[in-house]
Chain A
């Protein structure tokens, strides 16, 4: 690919707000309920 013509315009477009296909940038946080579950030891 390559263009033979000269550029006619330069624009700046902000990053799209909704990016459903992009991978999440951070790990999903643990919920409060998960944190409250006490560790159980096998009998």
Chain B
């Protein structure tokens, strides 16, 4: 099995002297280590919006990501949800990641045990490009990863791994039968008859 490729976004705080030049997870505020892998650690706690299964971070037998929890390193299967999120916040940058270890697969993305960034993508807006050019240079140098145009990101990332996006679930046969029955000529005639008082 080859590593999984996904797409996600990070925050880079230009004003924080300690985290400047480092990729930071937008939700958990985890700093991604340069030139190394990030290991998932459950940080769910009571009151956290995404917590589902309660605490298990100190439970040695249950490693992260736990399928019933919300922990793990997040990545989308597709590039589109990532680009949507980028339009919402300044100093949020998108890119590709390589994931391995335990992978919990959801229809829209995955939660991984280990991950490392593969590449960052250049912001689409010329204004943002100009404002963040220096910062992005620092980040890509720190992580030894390329800064790519958005259109080239998928092709580049595919060289390192594969997508594990699940096949869309087809509507059940029962559902199809119900639709076919509703559209059948006999049913339509009966409904029209009722509508016109027949």
Instruction: Give me 28 A-to-B residue pairs in the complex whose CB atoms sit less than 8 angstroms apart, sorted by A's number.
Output: A1-B8, A1-B27, A1-B74, A1-B85, A2-B50, A3-B109, A5-B107, A6-B106, A7-B106, A8-B105, A8-B107, A10-B104, A11-B1, A11-B103, A11-B105, A12-B1, A12-B101, A13-B103, A14-B1, A15-B101, A16-B2, A16-B100, A21-B144, A21-B145, A22-B35, A22-B36, A22-B116, A23-B35
Q: Does A15 contact B116, Cβ atoms closer than 8 Å?
A: no
A33 at the interface (CB under 8 A from B): no
Binding site for A on B (CB under 8 A): 1-4, 8-9, 26-27, 35-37, 49-50, 67, 70, 74, 76, 85, 98-109, 111, 114, 116, 143-145, 160-161, 164, 166
* Cβ-Cβ contact count across A and B, 8 Å cutoff: 80
Q: Does B104 contact A5, Cβ atoms closer than 8 Å?
A: no
Binding site for B on A (CB under 8 A): 1-16, 21-23
Return the chain B residue nearest A3 by Cβ.
Answer: B106
CB distance from A23 to the nearest CB of B (A): 4
CB distance from A34 to the nearest CB of B (A): 26
Q: How far is the CA of A12 from the CA of B2 in the complex (A)?
A: 10
CB distance from B139 to the nearest CB of A (A): 14
